[in-house]
Amino acid sequence: MINFPDLVTIPLAAWIDAAMSWLLRNMDGFFEVIGFIILQVVLGFEGLFLFVPWFIWIPLIGLAGWKLVGRWRTGLMFMIMLFLIGAFGYWEMAMLTLSLVIASVFFSLLIGIPFGILMARNDRAESILKPILDGMQTMPSFVYLIPALMFFGMGKVPAMFATIIYAVPPVIRLTNVGIRTVDVEAVEASKAFGATSRQVLFDVQLPLAKPSIMVGINQTTMMALAMVVIGSMIGARGLGMEVLLAINRIEVGRGFEAGMTIVFLAIIIDRITYSFSERNKKDLR
Amino acid sequence: MTEVMEKDGLETARPDTEAVSQIVIENVWKVFGRDPKRVLGKNYRNLSKDEVQEKTGCIIGMRNINLEIKKGEFYILMGLSGSGKSTLIRNLIRLVNPTSGTIKVNGKNLTTMSHEQLLDFRRNNFGMVFQHYGLLPHLTVLDNAAYGLKVKGIPKGERYAKAMTTLETVGLKGWEDYYPGSLSGGMQQRVGLARALANDPEILLMDEPFSGLDPLIRRQMQDELVELQDKLQKTIVFVTHDLHEALKLGDRIAILRNGEVVQIGTPEEIVTQPADDYVQEFVRDASPAKVLTAGSIMEPAKELLYAWEGPKTALTLLNSKKRRAAFVVNKAHELLGVTGIKDLEKLLASEVKHRTIPASAIRKVTSVLPDTILEDLFPIVSQNQYPIPVVDEKNRLQGVVTTDQIFESISPPEEDEAAAEAETETETKAKAKAKSDEGGLV
Ligand SMILES: Nc1ncnc2c1ncn2[C@@H]1O[C@H](COP(=O)(O)OP(=O)(O)OP(=O)(O)O)[C@@H](O)[C@H]1O
Ligand SMILES: [Mg+2]
């Protein structure tokens, strides 16, 4: 075996650390403001989810399953799942996790859709963003926890920050693809009638790209759920933390219950957001 | 007169004589690719499209195009796939920007306009119809038809009212609340047409609007478009690669190849005098019967009888020329009909003396206007033993068309010249014989 020469080293880690500490020193106020906004939004959602009692949530979600997904059996299945979550004793935890997910998705869309639009309308932006998005999607999710921790310390906000960054690529990507694959003639028609670029966007490109954007939202939501669970490692209270504790204490049963709760949430969220994208496709046909 | 004549009365209303030019395109080039201007430099300028693509990677979409489209004209752009038709028509509203050259519409130079001015210009002067309709599937038929007006910022009530009228014009009344997806192709294209007309633009741009439709619907749409155009008198720029469509609809046709204009002319000129092999290939299966007119092939009537000269003179004339019959005109050169030796002899045998040839001795004949296409002459020829007299709107005799002339002019141009010559020789002999059998009328 020949070792790699010790003389050749690139101190990338040191550079990044330096950059981070520079950011921390100089951009402190900035991160504080961002953290504050994120926190307010998630607290708002938490308030809502915990305020509405379980006996309203369960039929409501059942109804959504029936009406949106299209079969009453789906609605019934949703209700049973939610009931089981309550029976496991994880209702509150589930609601906390859910608010984290929804708040993160909210921010991801707020960032992702404009970036997707930019990427679709500007070839240069696409060529710059594409490799970045590729990189982001291949990066292991834990990695996002590190800068989040450094900027925001422990707790909900860093978990959400990491989640937002982790979950944003699909919605950017699919907004871009959606807009780029809109019928060329429809766009041309709009332009031919003298539409401004704003009118083209809102009259044609976004409505026709909606099914694709909805698929992006669905994927972003699922990724957010996965990341929120991991985010528990840095102190966001919720189902992930339960799993983590169960692992540490080797309590298989508890871990299983928490795990099942996450799966149930995932199924419900997935089906409901997926139904939105299908519905839009049908309308456009 | 016959039905044929009435129909032609309408067609003469087409304003091919109006000379105001609406769209003028001068020296327009379009090169797609990186740094397109360099292709216009003298190193590449004269190379062929393929050579340019090989050497620079750039694609020539249009090469030095010069066109002038008149107000009210139905102008056809024709050519094979990739010849630059779509590029050219999109240039007219700068959906594609020319690399060099100028485009003037109503005297205004589009190429130097600011973006704002351009948008305004598109809103007020143009309507466009697309091959795959280009409708907005999430909007109703009514909203689609009203889209151009919406872009213009016209309030809802007014724009729906206007859109309703245009939907009615294109025969879609009652479909306002449907979505385009639930309509057939033909109907979707009607929506496209209604949308383009709703603005009441001066100029209609149509890029292969009927290519996606099946033949029957297609023909129907063409007929309706002709009818509409008779009423509306728009300037229409129409792209097609279907020759029959071009001949049927166009006042003038420009033929493109590899981004260049190879020939501009009326349907008749294109079919009868193709500029080169490419055009020849295009028009090979064109039926001249659809483009040639009675006026273009008629000959002066050889023998004419003048009513005021009296029956005796007429009879002498016919006998001396060995003809059995001839057309009769009055002093105003108006066609009265046809009379023959037998009619005249019968007339002279009777007691009554006539100073002029009386109406009783003149048989009515079917006549046609000069711009009747040959195809419409067939039914007349088949039930008529005389040549067909061609008259102007005031019934003045212009000339005659014989069956021979019709068939001669619609027989396809021969592939092999020598063979053709040999053939025509025997043909003319046969024809001469047929003619004498016919009795040498006129
Ligand atoms: N955006 C583009 N980028 C590069 N090349 C293009 C572009 N648009 C058109 N071209 C090229 O320009 C040439 C003319 O194309 P155009 O679409 O005008 O042809 P067309 O006559 O409309 O053909 P078709 O009958 O297939 O519609 C073709 O060689 C085409 O490949
Ligand atoms: Mg085309």
Q: What is the pLDDT of residue B437?
A: 42
Residue B10 or B169, more confident: B169
More confident residue, B364 or A285: B364
The answer regarding whether domain B4-288 maps to CATH 3.40.50.300 reads yes
pLDDT tens digits along B23-39 = 999 999 999 998 888 88
Q: Which chain A residues are closer than 8 Å to B124 by Cβ? A: 194
Å between B367 CA and nearest CA of chain A: 47
Check pocket membership of B86 for ligand 1, CB cut-off 6 A.
yes
Task: Say what angle helices A156-180 and A206-231 make with each other, to 10 degrees.
Answer: 150
* Residue B45 binned pLDDT confidence (cut-offs 50, 70, 90): confident
pLDDT tens, position by position, B337-371: 888 888 888 888 887 788 888 888 888 888 898 88
Question: pLDDT at residue B433 above 50?
Answer: no
Model confidence pLDDT, tens digit, residues A95-143: 999 999 999 999 999 999 999 999 999 999 999 999 999 988 888 888 8
Mean pLDDT, range B161-182, rounded to an integer? 93
For the stretch B371-384, pLDDT in tens is: 888 888 888 888 77
Considering every ligand atom, which ligand is closest to the CA of B87? Answer: 1
Distances (CA, A) of B347 to B310, B342, B356, B359, B442: 11, 8, 11, 11, 21
Is there a shared CATH topology between the B4-288 domain and the B295-438 domain? no
Q: How far is the CA of B32 from the centre of ligand 1 (A)?
A: 9
pLDDT at residue B324 in the model: 85
Query: What's the pLDDT tens digit per position in B214-241?
Result: 888 888 999 999 999 999 999 999 999 8
Identify which of B122, B131, B137 has the shortest CB distance to residue A193: B122
Provide the whole-model pTM.
0.77
**Three state DSSP letters for chain A:** CCCCCCCCCCCHHHHHHHHHHHHHHHCHHHHHHHHHHHHHHHHHHHHHHHHCCHHHHHHHHHHHHHHHHCCHHHHHHHHHHHHHHHHHCCHHHHHHHHHHHHHHHHHHHHHHHHHHHHHHHCHHHHHHHHHHHHHHHHCCHHHHHHHHHHHHCCCHHHHHHHHHHHHHHHHHHHHHHHHHCCCHHHHHHHHHCCCCHHHHHHHHHHHHHHHHHHHHHHHHHHHHHHHHHHHHHHCCCCHHHHHHHHHHCCCHHHHHHHHHHHHHHHHHHHHHHHHHHHHHHHHHC
Q: What domains sit in chain A, N to C, each tagged with a CATH number?
A: 17-51+88-284 (1.10.3720.10)
Q: For residue B2, what pLDDT is reported?
A: 40
A185 within 8 A of B207, measured Cβ to Cβ: no
Q: Which residues of A touch B151 (CB under 8 A)?
A: 190, 193-195, 199, 203
Query: Domain residue spans in chain B?
Result: 4-288, 295-438
Ligand sitting nearest the alpha carbon of B99: 1
Mean pLDDT over A81-100 rounds to: 90
Burial of B24 (0-12, 13-18, 19+ CB in 10 A): middle
Give percent above pLDDT 70 in chain A.
98
**Lowest-confidence range among A138-142, B46-50, B403-407, B434-438?**
B434-438
Q: Under CATH, what is the fold of the domain B295-438?
A: CBS-domain (3.10.580)
Question: Does the beta carbon of B83 sit less than 6 angstroms from any atom of ligand 1?
Answer: yes
How many helices and strands (H and E) does chain B possess?
18, 15
Q: Which amino acid is at A212?
A: S
Of A35-44, A178-187, B46-55, least confident by mean pLDDT is B46-55
Interface contact A194-B119, CB threshold 8 A: yes
Chain A interface mutation, best of B115, B117, B120, B128, highest count of A Cβ atoms under 10 Å:
B128
Neighbours of A145 (CB within 10 A): 21
Averaged pLDDT score across all residues of chain B: 85
Q: Is the CB of B258 under 6 A from ligand 1?
A: no
Q: Do A204 and B95 touch (CB under 8 A)?
A: no
Residue B204 is predicted with a pLDDT of 96
Position A283 pLDDT exceeds 90: no
